[in-house]
Amino acid sequence: MIVALIVMAVLVLVGAAVLVRRRRRAVPMLAPVAREAMPEVLVAEVAQRPVLVDETQFLESRLGSSRSIFDRVRTISSIGSLSQDQLDTVEEVLLRSDVGVATTAAILDDLRENGAPDGVAAAVRDALLASLGADRSVTTTAEPGRVPVWLFVGVNGVGKTTTIGKLAQRHVSEGRSVVLAAGDTFRAAASEQLQQWADRTGADIVRAAEGADPGSVVHDALGRAAARGADIVLADTAGRRANSTNLLDELSKIRRVADRDPGQVVETFMVLDATTGQNALSQAREFLAAASVTGIVLTKLDGTARGGIVVAIERELAIPVKFVGVGEGVGDLIVFDPKAFVDSLLDA
């Protein structure tokens, strides 16, 4: 009954505020000041992100590139320590990539300490790569007799359903039979959306009416998968804000259902939109606690956002990024490559 306490606290607050306000009513009001003119554009030209790497290539094409990264390093400084100017440039690059104030400061500290024997870009790259050293392997098999489940969680609109479509394609093309669980029973037409991905990829799907219990959808999908000897279940969930214990509890419940025989959750992916800023860190913290997240799928890296917040997430919470979304097509998913990612962070 923490409830009572909360209610009382609210009462105290509201009561106090209203009471004081009433007493103040007597104060004569001054004539309203005329509204100032609308402010103009605050920043006419947003400064271009400064470049630490001198090539502007697409993340995807860079993945295929066999050239050594160090060939492409523009050496801003020679051997030795970094100037304040250089540190400022690095700070700007990192902040503009959403790496965040704290992580950026930590990386700058590393730089100050270690200097830049091979140039600033190389030093920053090393510092970033050192934060991205986690194991990124994915598990596709469960204990004998159980069906492996990949569960997808995240806030609204990040690309959970789309990612499932893309991964279904991947599994199918690797010869696995897939069952999709349309566990988003909340958003209008969400299961219809997943259905279309099932049709597109040839995956099997279990869905239920809007408002149905997501746990039972997952349960049914497991039953279906076990009966048909399917190789893997990909379970969608409704987008939920990460600051609601209710919604997170519901998620924990879904995960428990998915992890019950014959199912076994072998991966829980938090899907994260690359445009997300510092809130991503609290999303990761909450979803990790509620659903034991094992990896991140970073979507929309085909856009202009850098997704630098994953550096902070890996440093602080050790959740590895495993896949990257680079478009809306069924093939627009790649395995996360830290080097290519770091290059794209440092690149304009």
Partner 1 sequence: MFDALSERFERLGSSLRSRGRLSDADLDEALQEVRSALLEADVELGVVRAFLDAVRERLSGEALNQSLSPGQQVIKAVHEQLVEVLGGSPLKVTYASRPPTVVLLAGLQGAGKTTAAAKLALWFKQQGRQPYLIAADLQRPAAVEQLRVLAGQIGVDVFSEPSDPVDVARKGLAEATRLGRDVVIIDTAGRLSIDEALMREVRDISDATSPHYTFLVIDAVTGQDAVFTARSFHETLELSGIIVTKLDYDARGGAVLSARGVVGRPVVFASTGEKLADFDLFHPDRMASRILGMGDVMTLIEQAERTMDASVVAESAGRMMSGTFTLDDFMAQLNQVRKMGSLGGLMKLMPGVTKEMRNAASNVDDGELNKIEAIIRSMTPRERGEPSVIDGSRRTRIARGSGTTVNAVNQLLKQFAEMRKMMKQMSGGGMPNLPGGMGRMAGLAARASAQRSEQLPPGFEALGAGMSAGGPVARGGGGKNKKKKGGRVTPPKQR
Ligand X SMILES: Nc1nc2c(ncn2[C@@H]2O[C@H](COP(=O)(O)OP(=O)(O)O)[C@@H](O)[C@H]2O)c(=O)[nH]1
Binding site for ligand X (CB under 6 A): 154, 156-162, 239, 271, 299-300, 302-303, 325-328, 332
Least separation, in Å, of the C-beta of 198 and partner 1? Answer: 10
Residue from 77, 86, 97, 294 binding partner 1 (CB under 8 A): 97
Least separation, in Å, of the C-beta of 322 and ligand X? Answer: 14
Six-digit token pair at 23? 């007493």
Residue 96 interacting with partner 1 (CB under 8 A): yes
Residue 252 interacting with partner 1 (CB under 8 A): no
Residue 329 near residue 336, CB atoms below 8 Å: no
CA angle, residues 115, 116, 120, in degrees to nearest 5: 130
Number of Cβ within a 10 Å radius of residue 184: 26
Q: Which sign, positive or negative, has the C-alpha torsion 286, 288, 293, 298?
A: positive
* Mode of pairing for the β-strands spanning 295-299 and 204-206: unpaired
Q: Which amino acid is at 64?
A: G
Residue 162 interacting with Mg ion (CB under 5 A): no
Least separation, in Å, of the C-beta of 143 and partner 1? Answer: 34
Residues 216-275 that bind Mg ion (CB under 5 A): none
Our CB check for partner 1 shows the closer of 143 and 328 to be 328
Our CB check for partner 1 shows the closer of 41 and 66 to be 41
Q: What is the gyration radius of the CA atoms in the chain, in angstroms?
A: 25
Binding segment for partner 1 (CB under 8 A), chosen from 27-35, 145-153, 218-226, 253-261, is 27-35
Residues 287-316 that bind partner 1 (CB under 8 A): 300, 302-306, 309
Six-digit token pair at 222? 């497991």
Residue 41 interacting with partner 1 (CB under 8 A): yes
Residue 319 near residue 325, CB atoms below 8 Å: no
Residue from 86, 103, 131, 161 binding Mg ion (CB under 5 A): 161
Residue 190 near residue 246, CB atoms below 8 Å: no
Residues 71-90 that bind partner 1 (CB under 8 A): none
Six-digit token pair at 180? 């999709």
Residue 97 interacting with Mg ion (CB under 5 A): no
Which among ligand X, Mg ion, partner 1, none contacts residue 42 (Cβ within 5 to 8 A by kind)? partner 1
Our CB check for ligand X shows the closer of 53 and 153 to be 153
Least separation, in Å, of the C-beta of 204 and ligand X? Answer: 19
Residue 251 near residue 136, CB atoms below 8 Å: no
Largest Cα–Cα separation, the chain: 78
